[in-house]
Structures are given as structure tokens and as C-alpha cells.
Amino acid sequence: MLVEKYRQKEPFVYHPEIVILPTSYDVDKYAATKFIEQVRSKPNSVLTLPTGSTPEGMYGLLVQTHKESGLDLSQLTTFNLDEYWQLPSDHSASYASYMQRNLFQHVNIPVTQRHIPNSEAPDPNIEAAHYEEMLTKQQVDLAILGIGPGTTCHIGFNGRGSAIDSRTRYMPLDEQTLHVNAQSFPNPNEIPRGSITQGIGNILEAKKIMLLAKGVDKAWGIQRTLEGPKGSEAPASFLRFHPRVTFVLDQAAAQLLYKKTSGN
């Protein structure tokens, strides 16, 4: 078990790869290129996918490549990182709607090969267990992540206090995330208070991980994640335990890093 390996060998040092690019568009292009390389080298890849504003540009470029160059995604299997709980799945702010709008309706990934937790499940714990079971039957080849806003340093919805070996589960949303999300909900009564998310343990089981961060709002979190102590206070810092993780940053997100090259 991968997490056991981390425990036995700790402390040890891995060196995350850090790629710093001039603009946010360069991050989109880099991420789309890596996605396409993955699919071309292994058409039946299993991918973990994020939502949010960060990957929108990457998805746009993938759709463009599919339409213009016939990028074939028919053998791909996808697992989203997370979904709100207690939100109609056809609500425009649900991650199911997001994925439909930004990727799925434009490309040829069969419906049966796309997975997102059910935001309408009556019991989030049962839904989380079901998602965990589907996910762990597969080996994820590449997990693509964003990082939470402000000081959250969340990946998926694994907020502060999440353990390195956490599994798919119900997680309440932290205050900063609720605040940011309020922009997507004109009716404040509709704002979901919780989510179903892959755990840190699930994410770390991917063969490769690529975290994307753009903009000054991510600068503090990126510095804390890469240069602060590893631990539950900054859940994204656990990625530094993974042997093949790349942080793809624009200049704005990288601006507070002391050391702007790969290293631990």
C-alpha cells in the first residue's frame, strides 16, 4: 500500500518538478499538451480531473484539438476529484454541469467511462463509499489538480486537517471556499455546505500528478505548499511525498517562492 510506504520511509525527500511559465495561457497550453501526450501514449488512460476556473483554459484547448485534429478520447476513463453535495446535478454550478459544459458535451468520452460523485445522493457516506469502490478498481495514470484559494491549500476538497491517507468521503466546505463559491450562486440559500471528495490517499495513488495554479490569489498557497512544512495544515503539501508530481505555475502564482526551481 502506497501510504504505508510513505510512513516507513519518512523522512525522505522527493523533488517536485516546478514549471513556471510567463502567463496563465501558457499554463493552459502546457497542461493541455501533457493531457494530449498522455492520451496519445496510452489511449485507455485513467485520469483524475479537476473543475474550477483554473482548468477551464486547458479544457478549451482539448476541445479545440478534438475538433480540429480529431483527438480521440473514446478509450479514456475519467474520475472527477469532487462534487458538491445536496445540489441538483443539473444546477449550473454543479461539477457535473461544469464538466458537461467545458468538456464532455464536446468530445467523445463515453458516458459510461466518466465518473463524478452524485450530488443528489441521499446519503453522502454511502455515495462516497460507492465512488471509492469504483475508483480503487482502477489505476489512475495522471491526476490533474487545482489548489484552493487563499490559505486553504486544499486539493480536491481536502481542507485543513485532512490526513495523508484520507479516502473518498463527505467533507464540509471551509469558510474561504464558501465565500469564493458564493459568486456562482445568485441565491445564497442554494450554496452547498458540503462535498464528496477523493481523499489525499486516493490522489497520491495516481502514477503521475500535475497541479495547476494561476494568478496572484494562489501565490500564498503555492509558497506554503512547496516551501512550508509538510502536513495537514496545508493539505497540498502532501503532494511532495509523491515521486512524480509537477507544479505548473504562472509567474503570478509563483511570485512568493524563494526558490524558483525544482526542489523540496
- Which spans of this chain sit near ligand F6R (rule: CB under 6 A)? 50-54, 81-82, 146-149, 154-156
Residue 100, number of CB atoms within 10 A of its CB: 16
Smallest distance, Å, CB 68 to ligand F6R?
26
SS (H, E, C) 25-36: HHHHHHHHHHHH
Cβ 236 to ligand F6R shortest distance, Å: 9
Encoded amino acid at 87, one letter: L
Closer CB to ligand F6R, residue 16 or residue 156? 156
Closest separation between CB of residue 93 and ligand F6R, Å?
12
Least spacing, CB of residue 146 vs ligand F6R, in Å: 3
Measured from the CB atom, is 72 or 160 closer to ligand F6R?
Answer: 160
**Cα 134 to Cα 125: distance, rounded to the nearest angstrom:** 14
Angstrom CA distances, 59 to 62, 98, 116, 181, stand at 5, 11, 16, 20
- In which order are the strands placed within the sheet that holds 77-80? 17-21, 245-250, 208-213, 142-145, 46-49, 77-80, 114-115
For ligand F6R, the nearest residue by Cβ is: 146
- Nearer Cβ to ligand F6R (148/201): 148
How many Cβ atoms from other residues are within 10 Å of residue 248's Cβ?
25
Cβ proximity to ligand F6R: between 9 and 236 the closer is 236
In this structure, are strands 194-197 and 169-172 parallel, antiparallel, or unpaired? antiparallel
User: Which uninterrupted H or E stretch holds 200?
Assistant: helix 200-204
Q: In the complex, what is the shortest distance from the CB of residue 70 to ligand F6R, in angstroms, rounded to a whole number?
A: 28
Nearer to ligand F6R, 51 or 119 (CB): 51
Q: Which residues pair with 212 in a beta bridge?
A: 248
- In the complex, minimum distance from the CB of residue 78 to ligand F6R, in angstroms, rounded to a whole number: 12
Residue among 16 and 117 whose Cβ is closer to ligand F6R = 117
Q: How far apart are CA 245 and CA 210, in angstroms?
A: 6
**Centroid of chain to Cα 218:** 14
